[in-house]
Amino acid sequence: MADIARRTEHRYGNRPTMKDVAARAGVGLKTVSRVVNGEPGVTPDTERRVQEAIEALGFRRNDSARVLRKGRTATVGLVLEDLADPFYGPLSRAVEEVARAHGALLINGSSAEDPAREQELALALCARRVDGLIVIPAGDDHRYLEPEIRAGVATVFVDRPAGLIDADAVLSDSFGGARDGVAHLIAHGHRRIGFIGDRPRIHTASERLRGYRAAMEDAGLPVDDAWVSPGSTEPERVRTAVREMLDAAEPVTALFAGNNRVMVTVVRALAERPRPVALVGFDDMELADLLGITVIAQDAAALGRTAAERLFRRLDGVDDVPERVVLGTTLLARGSGEIPPSAG
Amino acid sequence: MADIARRTEHRYGNRPTMKDVAARAGVGLKTVSRVVNGEPGVTPDTERRVQEAIEALGFRRNDSARVLRKGRTATVGLVLEDLADPFYGPLSRAVEEVARAHGALLINGSSAEDPAREQELALALCARRVDGLIVIPAGDDHRYLEPEIRAGVATVFVDRPAGLIDADAVLSDSFGGARDGVAHLIAHGHRRIGFIGDRPRIHTASERLRGYRAAMEDAGLPVDDAWVSPGSTEPERVRTAVREMLDAAEPVTALFAGNNRVMVTVVRALAERPRPVALVGFDDMELADLLGITVIAQDAAALGRTAAERLFRRLDGVDDVPERVVLGTTLLARGSGEIPPSAG
DNA sequence: TAGAGCCTGGACAACGTTGTCACGGGAGGG
DNA sequence: CCCTCCCGTGACAACGTTGTCCAGGCTCTA
């Protein structure tokens, strides 16, 4: 009776264990384990009996116990910034693809751009003993991961580098991409170009701003402070920035949008204005081709794939020094970036 | 020496355990457990000593072992179709949000629309003993999940109903949405309307086709077989369908696109043609507003949120009969659906 | 026919944690 | 002053699996 009670209030409902299977098949515990894991040394006849018992009981191996025993979880964690951001879909998918090829599962969660949440999430994944971690940083101090990395959690940062620790990172060439985009506008005759970006705390954002300034300097053009609007991607702020730059006494004739969210808002804002304004945006998006928006495209899938491959290389025991990989960007000319300056 | 060897080749690198912490703090194992879990009954002084040891060793609780002991993983699985599909981003994010609110993590993976892969993935998640499972079905036979559900894995299907088993499902009103969309076109004077959708094996696809037929019938309009193209969402096939419908002797004057992927291809195909063709698409997308595409919008976030809430309600012990929840859709008129028929 | 070797199968410990229970000491009441 | 009660603490088993090791029975050979 005590036994019945135990079984009844058992936490997994009433999941059969290998012991149950062994009892039913009339074999030893280890023999069941062998069959389940396809290990050699089991007579076809015994194997059949075990399989039947597994079938009859609806047994499924408890991987939690397995993990505890074996030490490897065959699981990698992905901490991203926002699952709903179209940029991260392909990235995440590419990571999953590689993980799958290595027989691993993916746990993920988003930090919602909150450093505290990023840390909480990353450490929760470490507590689950993920074999490796891919992080798209929200914060700029990752020293909290040092003990984990020392303890053997392979870690790769994507899209932005780690802060204050030495770790692998796979990045797009934000600086070069932005410089190329702005140079493209300059080549089409623009002299006064506005830059609207994300908070400069974010590495990619500051790099893109740096790229903007470099392109202007290369062309010997001055940069007016009023043309530069780093800040949040909050739509209202972006709209205000667009308005101020275009309605100034000496308005800008072209805009560079620092990322996809900014770009979307800028496009919406420009759609309401009579005169066309040249625009180049960082990040490609679905349908952007149909709208004729010239963009600096980064290859999100390649970013994810490269990072994941690097991660699994480390998990396979390769142990070279942390490295920073930078992937190139592509300028896709579609019209909006080729609009000439309208007479001031 | 044997001990050193054991530690050295240990699988988690050299992670300290509660035992190590206990030894260093000079307390018992259970006391460490109490401190780590914030249980009462520990002197402030003892607690401080334990905390110091934890700090010094860089201890982090091994949740695998914890799970094994407690039975609950505080993890839910999400099996979706394609992480890169913009429709699933917000859905996935909403699920994560709810999971987070319940203190649970999310493991996910995509089936790539392959039923076999869906099954493999779902069962792998069950082997990890996720507490619950949210599935966007790729296949149409989910009997393989019956033992798991019986064993206590809460399961909710989203976007499409489960096949051959009785389970919770949260769906958009595909039938009603498609009917409304087609009725909208009819209201704007169209008589010959083409339908381009996904494979009819997919529940939503066949429901949308049924909605199309219902709207036509309601208006007393005949449906020519040549106007209906169910099939894959493969771009080349969609382009061919568009061409054939528009270049026929009696061409259609409007198109209804069965989902976002079809819609994108249709928009691209129509952009190359001289005469405007009316279009309504199922699923909204970013930038679709700027392109003036009239759509039947479903609320992906609400879908995910509703499903996740239902899941956690079950996990909290509520045990009502499986139910099917249908969420309404919204027609967003933006121009493309209001184009009148061009003279045939 | 006996000994050696191989092959199948099972007993047992260990993985790191938590629940149960028991123990020792200090406080409070009779 | 002694007994009781409570509180802080720790020993121990258990969760379900896998690695190690040994036993028993078989075959093959001398």
- Amino acid A8: pLDDT: 32
Determine, for residues A88 and B89 on separate chains, whether the beta-carbon distance falls below 8 Å.
yes
Q: Is the confidence at residue B343, as pLDDT, over 60?
A: no
End-to-end Cα spacing for chain B:
90
- Amino acid B6: pLDDT: 35
Measured between beta carbons, which residues in chain A are less than 8 angstroms from residue B315?
A: none
Domains of chain A: 2-61 (1.10.260.40), 73-172+300-327 (3.40.50.2300), 174-298+331-338 (3.40.50.2300)
| H-only helix segments in A74-224 | 88-101, 115-127, 146-150, 174-187, 203-218
Nucleotide nearest to A68 (CA to C1'): C15
Exposure pattern of B60-69 as b/e (b: 16+ CB <10 Å)?
bbbbbbbbbe
- Per-residue pLDDT of A4-24, as tens digits, reads 333 333 344 578 999 999 999
- Amino acid B4: pLDDT: 32
B30 touches strand D (CB under 7 A): yes
Highest mean pLDDT range out of A81-85, A165-169, B4-8? A165-169
Determine, for residues A71 and B268 on separate chains, whether the beta-carbon distance falls below 8 Å.
no
Determine, for residues A128 and B63 on separate chains, whether the beta-carbon distance falls below 8 Å.
yes
- Per-residue pLDDT of A39-55, as tens digits, reads 888 888 999 999 999 99
- Per-residue pLDDT of A246-267, as tens digits, reads 999 999 999 999 999 999 999 9
Residue among A64, A147, A290 minimizing CB distance to B64: A64
Q: What does the alpha-carbon distance between residue A183 and residue A2 come to, in Å, rounded to a whole number?
A: 79
- Amino acid A325: pLDDT: 97
A2 touches strand D (CB under 7 A): no
- Which residues does strand C reach (CB under 7 angstroms)? A 22, 26-31, 40-43, 45-46, 65, 68-69; B 6, 10, 12, 15, 17-19, 29-30, 33, 36-37, 59, 61-62, 65-66, 68-70
CB-based contacts of A106: which residues, under 8 Å, 6+ apart?
A75, A76, A77, A78, A92, A95, A96, A99, B107, B108, B109
Query: A128 to chain B, minimum CA–CA distance in Å?
Result: 5
Please check whether residue B170 is in contact with residue B157, taking contact to mean a CB–CB distance below 8 angstroms. Answer: yes
- Amino acid A343: pLDDT: 53
Q: What does the alpha-carbon distance between residue B157 and residue B78 come to, in Å, rounded to a whole number?
A: 10
Tokens of A190: 């623009």
Q: Is the confidence at residue B344, as pLDDT, over 60?
A: no
Q: Is the confidence at residue A3, as pLDDT, over 50?
A: no
- Per-residue pLDDT of A318-344, as tens digits, reads 888 999 999 999 999 999 999 999 754
- Amino acid A49: pLDDT: 92
A7 vs B169 pLDDT, higher one: B169
Tokens of A299: 């290859």
B230 vs B309 pLDDT, higher one: B309
Query: B218 to chain A, minimum CA–CA distance in Å?
Result: 34
CB atoms < 10 A from the CB of B267, how many?
20
Q: What does the alpha-carbon distance between residue B189 and residue B340 come to, in Å, rounded to a whole number?
A: 6
Average pLDDT of chain A, as a whole number: 91
Q: How far is CA B263 from the centre of its chain?
A: 19
- Amino acid A232: pLDDT: 86
Average pLDDT of chain B, as a whole number: 92
- Amino acid A230: pLDDT: 84
Q: What does the alpha-carbon distance between residue B111 and residue B119 come to, in Å, rounded to a whole number?
A: 8
- Per-residue pLDDT of B16-62, as tens digits, reads 999 999 999 999 999 999 999 999 889 999 999 999 999 999 999 99
Arithmetic mean of pLDDT, B247-255: 95
- Per-residue pLDDT of A264-310, as tens digits, reads 999 999 999 998 999 999 999 989 999 999 999 999 999 999 999 99
Nucleotide nearest to A63 (CA to C1'): D17
- Amino acid A213: pLDDT: 98
Neighbouring C-alpha atoms within 13 Å toward the C-beta of B114:
8
Q: What does the alpha-carbon distance between residue B212 and residue B188 come to, in Å, rounded to a whole number?
A: 15
Please report, for residues A140, A158, B151, B330, the alpha-carbon distance to residue A161 in angstroms, rounded to integers and kept in the order given: 9, 7, 44, 42
- Amino acid B13: pLDDT: 58
The DSSP code sequence of B63-121 is HHHHHHHHS---EEEEEES-TTSTTHHHHHHHHHHHHHHTT-EEEEEE-TT-HHHHHHH
